[in-house]
Chains A and B, each alone.
Chain A
Amino acid sequence: MNLSQLNRVLLQTLLIPVVALMFVAAILFLQIQSAERTVVQMQKTGNNIATATLASALIVNEESGLRGYQITSNEIFLQPYDYSQAPLDSALQDLREGLSQQGSDPRDVDNFIVAHNIWRNSFAAPLIAATHAGQNTHDSGLNLRGKAQMDALRERLNSIIEGQKTQRTLVVETWQRQVRETLEILVALALIIGLAIGFFARSRLHRVSDAFQSTLESLRFNAHRTFESEQRLRTTLTSIGDGVVVCDVDGRIELLNSAAQQLTGWSQADAFRQPLEDVFRIVDETTREPLETPFAVVKRLQRVVGLSNHAVLLGRDGSELYVDDSGAPIHDRSGKLVGVVMVFRDITEQRRSQAALLATEKLAVAGRLAATLAHEIHNPLDAVGNLLYLMQSGSSPEESSQFLKLASQELDRVTQISRAMLGMYRESKTPVAIDVKEMLESVLLLLNRQMSQSQLEIRTDLAPDASVTGYPVELRQVFVNLLTNAADASSKGGMIEVRTKLRRTGPKTGSRQAGVAITISDNGAGIPDAAMPQLFQPFFTTKGEHGTGLGLWVSHGIVEKHGGTIEIESSTNEQNHGTQITVFLPRIEG
């Protein structure tokens, strides 16, 4: 049930009793009106009775006045007779009107008037005149006739009164019935309407109550689900291995999960409402400069950010951990930023194992170069030793001078090789300018023996002024790797080409950075398509036990570290099989 349905139900429960009561009131009103009419009837009957009684008294007055005058002949006694005339006429007129208004037959009154007039004219008037004249008025015949007429008049009036009384009784009965009926209707209506309203209200309230119940149920269910889901999320949050920090829009900490507490050394209670920078302190691993926290970056960019992996987290106890961090904004419904959640992870172990793998690969490169090195050093040393032997065993000055020249040449070779080898291992902490041509030549020198043994032809086309900025040791390792791969992939008599080209823009779309592209191509068997996606994965090798599977992975990492790219194109097509690897290294100005 929605709100408008509820409002409708409430309106119904309010309006229906009002309408029902109005209906009852209307019925009551009609009943009362009808009763009032009956009461009016009753009043009229009462009036008629009173008027008739008055008329009855007036004719008694008439008669007794007439009798007094007849006996005494004193005019004074005739007064009641005279005074009754007008009121009697008026009363009789009233009575006639009353009867006709009431619906009774007025002819009884008319007949009475006629009879009365007869009495007055044929009996009373002659009697008065005779008495006034002093005549004898004691004729019993006349008096009896007069009496009989008067009796008949009284009889007529009494009959009218009785009629009216009967009428009154009927009206009273009607009124009583009406009152009883009204009461009955009232009780019945009260009962029916009361019950109807009761049932209606009950059904409506049931609906409301059902709706309320179901709303309550669903609220309870939702609350339960929300609680469960919150518990689940909370448990997930606390049990995941990554550190999670939630802070409000001002960068004050709201929550640290267990991993975050462990990594930062701050407890939830201590960290709560503290500024993020105090708890989550990160510095650049090389410069030790404080880094912008993920919170600041997210707030600035208003989107999910993954951040540098050169961050070192300074723990509360002074410990240092390499961390990998990221941040995401929390928005409210209107899309307003209300907080930031940060996720970070201890990558110290990962860095260590990566370092171990890098060292392994470096050793593997060293191992590969060891044979070449031994050869390249032993050969000149052998020649020098033999030259010394010749000089010791007696030589002419000309011969000696020639031997010394040869020995010096051979020693130069040793120096060159040893320099090239040192170049592979002399670490540099900061990037330096590197002459790409010189670097590639020294790498090729180290690999020369290996190449010529496999009868591989090396063609070079190295631009003279190609220079990049970087870490020479690492870049040499990259090119030893790539060239060794090319040599391993080539069959005897194959050809490897090494070319460098200056480029004004990088291969990345939109990149405007100038640099050097170094391309190494071979005409070996080529890389099967299936292997292509895995080439840069660690431990992936096509050389079986002879490869570590780390070469390209490490090379890729080193090139990326230099801001460069590495691309491989390969074909296993019979006509033009071979692989071409292009490394682009940007020239970092200034």
Chain B
Amino acid sequence: MPQSRRLVLCVDDEAVGLQVRRMILERSGYSVLTAHDGPTGLKVFAENPIEAVVLDYAMPGMDGGQVAAQMREHKPQVPILLLSAYMSLPADLSGLVDISMTKGEGAPVLLQKLDSLFSN
């Protein structure tokens, strides 16, 4: 459990998925900001002291990889968790994100992976 409420940014184009993920994270003690696409996510990311990002890969327009690359440029210290509905992601993404997981692995795995980002 986090000591204080950490500010997490969730970016996903799936409205329901994003809403539910926000509830789970908030219940687990995180403060959550959401964005429904890459450009909005980057804007929120730039304007707020985001401590971690939960980023969906497959989004219209900018995909997760592009968003992650720009985030890394501005604030390389902020850890990024990449979510994907695909079984496999392009290989060149591994350097851009800290950890990745497949959608459908379940909320406990998400919470555990997010938690691990802070304990490192």
Contact = CB atoms under 8 A, between A and B. Distances in A.
Given A371-B86, A406-B20, A385 B59 contact: no
Nearest to A410: B16
A382 B23 contact: no
Contacts of A390: 20, 23-24, 27, 107
Contacts of A492: 61
Contacts of B103: 378-379, 381-382
Nearest to A387: B20
Contacts of A218: none
A383 B58 contact: no
A453 B85 contact: no
B95 interface: no
Given A393-B27, A453-B58, A453-B59, A383 B16 contact: yes
B24 A449 contact: no
B14 interface: yes
Contact of B58 (A386, A389, A409, A449): A449
A455 B107 CA distance: 30
B17 interface: yes
Interface in B96-120: 102-104, 106-108
B60 interface: yes
A374 interface: yes
Contact of B85 (A379, A406, A409, A410): A379
A492 B63 CA distance: 12
A409 B19 CA distance: 14
Nearest to B19: A406
Interface in A270-294: none
A386 B17 contact: yes
Contacts of A376: 85
A389 B87 contact: no
B21 interface: yes
A369 to B, nearest CB: 13
B68 to A, nearest CB: 16
B17 A383 contact: yes
B104 A381 contact: yes
Nearest to B18: A383
Given A379-B14, A382-B103, A374 B86 contact: yes
Interface string A359-403: 000000000000100111111111101110110010000000001
Given A383-B17, A386-B20, A375 B27 contact: no
A375 B20 contact: no
Given A382-B17, A383-B14, A383-B16, A389 B86 contact: no
A231 interface: no
Given A389-B107, A409-B16, A382 B85 contact: yes
B102 A378 contact: yes
A374 B27 contact: no
A496 to B, nearest CB: 14
A454 B85 CA distance: 17
A139 B118 CA distance: 221
A455 B20 contact: no
A377 B58 CA distance: 13
A452 interface: yes
Nearest to B20: A386
Interface string A445-472: 0000100111100000000000000000
A453 B17 contact: no
B24 A386 contact: yes
Interface in A330-359: none
B108 A379 contact: no
Contacts of A410: 16
A119 B107 CA distance: 200
Nearest to A448: B60
Contact of A378 (B20, B21, B85): B85
Contact of A386 (B85, B87, B102, B107): B107
Nearest to B60: A452
A455 B60 contact: yes
Interface in A394-448: 403, 406, 409-410
Given A409-B16, A410-B16, A453-B58, A385 B23 contact: no
Given A378-B103, A453-B58, A389 B85 contact: no
Interface string B1-24: 000000000000110110111011
Interface of B: 13-14, 16-17, 19-21, 23-24, 27, 58-61, 63, 85-87, 102-104, 106-108
Given A379-B103, A386-B21, 10 more contacts: A375-B58, A375-B85, A375-B86, A377-B85, A380-B17, A383-B17, A389-B106, A393-B27, A409-B16, A452-B60
30 contacts: A374-B86, A376-B85, A377-B85, A378-B102, A378-B103, A378-B104, A379-B17, A379-B85, A380-B17, A381-B104, A382-B85, A382-B103, A383-B16, A383-B17, A385-B106, A385-B107, A386-B17, A386-B20, A386-B21, A386-B106, A386-B107, A389-B108, A390-B20, A390-B23, A403-B20, A406-B20, A410-B16, A454-B60, A455-B61, A492-B61
Q: Which 7 A-B pairs have the closest CB atoms?
A: A378-B85, A382-B103, A452-B60, A389-B107, A375-B85, A386-B20, A383-B17
